[in-house]
Every structure is written in C-alpha cells, then in structure tokens.
Amino acid sequence: MADRITPRKEDYSQWYLDVIREAELAENSPVRGSMVIRPYGYELWEGVRNGLDRRFKATGHRNAYFPLFIPMRFLEREADHVEGFAPELAVVTIGGGKELEEPLAVRPTSETIIGHMYSRWIQSYRDLPLLINQWANVVRWEMRTRPFLRTMEFLWQEGHTAHATAEEAIEETLRMLDVYADFAINDAAIPVIKGRKSDREKFAGAVDSYTIEAMMGNGWALQAGTSHYLGTNFARAFDITYLDEDNELQYCHTTSWGVSTRMIGAIIMAHGDDQGLRLPPQLAPIQVVIVPIWRDAEEKAEVFPMVERVRTALEGAEIRVHVDDREDQTPGYKFNDWEMRGVPVRVEIGPRDVEKDAVVCARRDKPGREGKEFGVPVANVAEHVGDLLQQVQDGLLHQAEAFRKENTRHVTDYETFKEVLEEEGGFLRVHWAGDEEDEDRVQDETKATLRCILLDPPEDEGRCFLTGKRTEQVAIFARAY
RNA sequence: CGGGGUGUGGCGCAGACGGGAAGCGCGCGGCGUUUGGGACGCCGAGGUCGAAGGUUCAAAUCCUUUCACCCCGACCA
C-alpha cells in the first residue's frame, strides 16, 4: 500500500509535499532548489499555457523568444531593477574555458534584454503598440525554495509591451490583469482578488504593480500573477523612443506581466483535499478515467467492448479520456490512485453495468460516495459526463469562493487584527492609510503582509486600522507564501 | 548568513548512547490465489552505511576533517 496523504490540518506543508509526490507532479532534481516536473505535472502546465495563450492571442499579442543570457551592463542600466535582482542573480563568468570579458547573467526576467531589442525595433508611433509575449524559463537564486511555489529555475510567460502613452500602457497593464483573473476564475476555478501592490511590494523598476491574490487551503495568500506598469523607467534606461505624429521624439511607456509554474502550486493548494489533488476539468490532463472491473477472462471479454463504446463516445465529445486497464491493480487501488491525481470524473464499468447497459460515475469535487451516480445509461454517457465536468468545474470554484468568504474578515483595529490572525488566520480586509514603515511593523509583529490594495474601493471611507487616518483605501493583509 | 536537524537498497526508516554476521516497511521481479474503495501467500533481486583520514583484533556505531541535503528565520513569481 502506498503512503497515504498526510491529513492537512496537522501539517499543511507536509500535506503539500505529499500531494506533489503522490500525484506524480514533480520530484527533486539533483540541483538544489530546482525541480523536475513529471509528465503529468507538465501536462497540467500545458493546460495552463494553452488557457493563457488563447487569451493572449485574443488580445492581440504574439509570441517571440529572447536570449537566456543577459549582459550584466543591461541589468545595471535601471537602478531599482538591478538593486532588486542583484541578490538573486546566477552569473556566468566562464565560457569555452576562458574568463569572459563581461559576465552574463542568467535571466531572472527579461525586461532589460527585451528593452534593448525594442529600442531597435521601435522608430515611429506606427510601430506601436508592440505587444509581445515570451514563454521561457528564468532563474532566481532563492535562499529558500519550495516545489512549484518558489524554485530556483521556473517556467513562465512574460509579456512585454510598449505604448505611445501612459494611458494606453496603464490600460494594457489592467487588461492583462483582467486576463489573468479571468483565467484563474474560469479555467483554474480559483477566485482571486485583483489589487495594486504597495510601493514596498512592487516589482523592481515598476511605477505600479498589480496582482491577483488567491487564498490557499490553509488560509494563506498566494500571488498568482502580476502585471506591471513600468512608466518610462525602462524606456529611458534603454532608449526606447519613437517619433510621434508631430515628429517629436518621445519615450515609450512599457508594461510587463507574468504567470509562472507557481500557478500549479496555487491549483494544488486551493483545491486539494486529504485524498490528494482536485483538478479543474478545464485544465486536467485527464478529464475522465475509465476503470474497467472484471474477475476473469470471461468477464473481461464482456466488459471491454462497453469500455470501448464509452471511450469512443467521450472522445467524440472532445473529452480527454484515459482507460486504466492495468492488470496488476485492483479497482479499489485505481480509484484511490486517480483521486490522488485529481481526475475530475471517474467512470466505472463492470459486469453489473454491462447487464444494465449503464455505468457508474463519480465526481471528484464531492467526497467519497457522495459524488457517485449509479445507472447512467451508456446511450447518453457523453452528454452526461460533459455536464458532470461542467458541474465539477463550477463546484470547485464555488467551494473555493465559499472557503475564502468564510476566512475573510473585516477588522477595524489593530488589536482585533492580531487576535483574528492568531486564532483564525485567513484574509484580513482593512482600511489602510499606512506607509512602508507601518507595513514593516505589521509584518514584524504579525508575519502578515499587505497583499494588495483593492482596485475599486468598494465602499465609503473609514479609519485606517493601524494609523486611524481616514481613507477610502481598502487593503488585504494575510500570511503569504 | 543565523538557529536546529539528517545522511544506511528506488522511497520511508530502525540499528549508533554501550564497537562483534547490515535489518524493517513500502516499492521492484517470479509463481499462485485474488479483483465493485488502497488484496494475500511463498520465493527472489537490490546496500563499498555521504566522503576522507584516524583509534581498534574488529567501525554504520568511537575520534578528526569535510561534503551534501532538509527544517525554522530574513529575500522572493
């Protein structure tokens, strides 16, 4: 018998690692802090990639690729940027056995090298806007790592756009934030809060950073995507200029935005339960697993024609199906195995079902036998399972929403803030008018950080829970990964 | 970088204090019985005990050095 998943309430961190291992998503690589992504985990990432790419194309973006190595002097051209990234750079100093004239940084992000190229590509306002995305790996020499959430090397997409005006660039920044939120909610079934980062938390070199924040199963926050308005900071550093209609030289306004393999971590932690993963059907590599049940050759011969009928019907409806015909495992083992991997719907087909020309369906968003349906006629199995997948997709989102609602509390004074954080955790929604030092203080004293400032202050002004100043600004504080 | 801890078959661990034939569970291979919620029996393969040096008749165990990794903190998608 395989190791069971550790009950998560007792040790969330261990639970997370167990799920990853047992669901065959990743394993440790020989390189510290890096990870090997197994095929199943990678297929999940491909689902994320497709969902995002589709949306990028629909908003007029094109994919391109830029170099892995960045000359150090590029990074040094934007003061905040180099200061922010210097501590976590991996640098190549030897090439072909010889000391390099100039060290090359392994990209921690590509604003600089893309900025360098953009300065050559952009001459006129007719070249704008320039809307490009790159799928790539990046390296950040983190002190502490954790599979999917913070690895030294990770996969991501980074969009880099250049615009004629601040208005257009800001509009793009927020548009892509909306794209991320749409993906998170509709594909990953993770409800997210859109907000602006405080100056303390924003991207190195940005004017403003925006974020989608998600709540994990232990009440902690996870930044699941970011979108930055870079103003003319990088344009000035890299001479990204254009001639406008009046033949005057102007600096471009640029943006960048990214989502990484951390999204996989978000999916695991937002939806997973004590049986393992629960994957949203939109992204699940396998949407339906068929488990045939038989005792002997005779029964097997009866069962398999029906298995094939069902498989064909489901595939005909564009459903991603897998038939688990392993001879060496019992049905019970297979049920648990696929539940651990988070497959949204399971179809069981045995002699009893053949007799009735019907199948048993089980949905992963409901626990154990609660999610089982008996006697689903084979005649309309594709339609039924299609509906079921949609229900699981909705079910996961609704459960995550309910959980977040339960664990979000509005507080108005610091004492209650500390108390709630200590006893219940979760998101704390507050009026906020503090500065960076106030943020430091809250973090020192409570370990909670300012996750974001809500984009559209939903209501009237109130008093800052910490400083007592009147403000319209509403912020979310939480412990975060 | 500070504070803890661990290195023993593929994975998880015991053995170490008090030196005396390398063990257990899972997994893996074979055969048989099983199979509708993590099956069982029998047989079997697999380890220079992280590395180097030392003490000893004898070292996984004691001593010295060293390397690696993990956890907690500061940093971060």
Residue A388: pLDDT over 50: yes
Poorest-pLDDT segment among A83-92, A122-131, A298-307, A341-350: A83-92
Residue A5: pLDDT over 70: no
Average pLDDT value over all residues in chain A: 93
Give residues 171-200 of chain A lying near strand B (Cβ < 7 A). Answer: none
Residue A299, CA: closest nucleotide via C1'?
A: B35
Pairwise CA distance, residues A280 & A219, whole Å: 20
User: Which two three-digit tokens encode residue A463?
Assistant: 């008093």
Of chain A, the percentage scoring pLDDT greater than 70 comes to 98
Residue A21 is predicted with a pLDDT of 85
- Give the distance, in angstroms, between residue A340 CA and nucleotide B13 C1': 24
Residue A334, CA: closest nucleotide via C1'?
A: B38
- Give the distance, in angstroms, between residue A177 CA and nucleotide B12 C1': 43
Residue A155, CA: closest nucleotide via C1'?
A: B77
Give residues 376-405 of chain A lying near strand B (Cβ < 7 A). Answer: none
Nearest protein residue to the C1' atom of B77, measured from CA: A260
Q: What is the arithmetic mean of pLDDT over A275-301?
A: 95
By CB atoms closer than 10 A (0-12, 13-18, 19+), residue A212 is: buried
Q: What is the arithmetic mean of pLDDT over A274-278?
A: 91
Q: Is the CB of A481 under 7 A from strand B?
A: yes
Q: Which range among A35-39, A273-277, A352-356 has the greatest average pLDDT?
A: A352-356
Read off the pTM: 0.95
In this prediction, residue A7 has a pLDDT band, given cuts at 50, 70 and 90, of: low
Residue A12 is predicted with a pLDDT of 80
Residues A227-252: pLDDT tens digits? 999 999 999 999 999 999 999 999 99
Bond into A129 cis (ω within 30): yes
Q: Is the CB of A266 under 7 A from strand B?
A: no
- Give the distance, in angstroms, between residue A31 CA and nucleotide B56 C1': 39
Q: What is the arithmetic mean of pLDDT over A434-440?
A: 90
- Give the distance, in angstroms, between residue A442 CA and nucleotide B25 C1': 47
Residue A2 is predicted with a pLDDT of 37
Three-state secondary structure along A220-277? CEEEEEEEEEEECHHHHHHCCEEECCCCCEEECEEEEEEEECHHHHHHHHHHCECCEC
Residue A457: pLDDT over 80: no
Q: Is the CB of A150 under 7 A from strand B?
A: yes
Give residues 428-467 of chain A lying near strand B (Cβ < 7 A). Answer: 443, 447
Contact (Cβ atoms closer than 8 angstroms) between residue A450 and residue A438 = no
DSSP A54: H
In this prediction, residue A1 has a pLDDT band, given cuts at 50, 70 and 90, of: very low
Q: What is the arithmetic mean of pLDDT over A279-298?
A: 96
- Give the distance, in angstroms, between residue A185 CA and nucleotide B77 C1': 19
Residues A322-336: pLDDT tens digits? 999 999 999 999 999
Residue A18: pLDDT over 90: no
ipTM entry: 0.87
Residue A218 is predicted with a pLDDT of 87
Q: Which helix (H) or strand (E) holds A409?
A: strand A408-410
Contact (Cβ atoms closer than 8 angstroms) between residue A340 and residue A279 = no
Phi, psi of A477 (to 5 degrees): -110, 145
Give residues 5-64 of chain A lying near strand B (Cβ < 7 A). Answer: 5, 13, 28, 32-33
Give residues 321-340 of chain A lying near strand B (Cβ < 7 A). Answer: 329-333, 335-337, 339-340
- Give the distance, in angstroms, between residue A204 CA and nucleotide B41 C1': 64
Give the CA distances from residue A148 to residues A1, A22, A79, A381, in Å, rounded to whole numbers and listed in that order: 27, 15, 29, 36
- Give the distance, in angstroms, between residue A234 CA and nucleotide B69 C1': 40
Contact (Cβ atoms closer than 8 angstroms) between residue A160 and residue A254 = yes
Q: Is the CB of A356 under 7 A from strand B?
A: no
Residue A209, CA: closest nucleotide via C1'?
A: B77
Q: Is the CB of A203 under 7 A from strand B?
A: yes
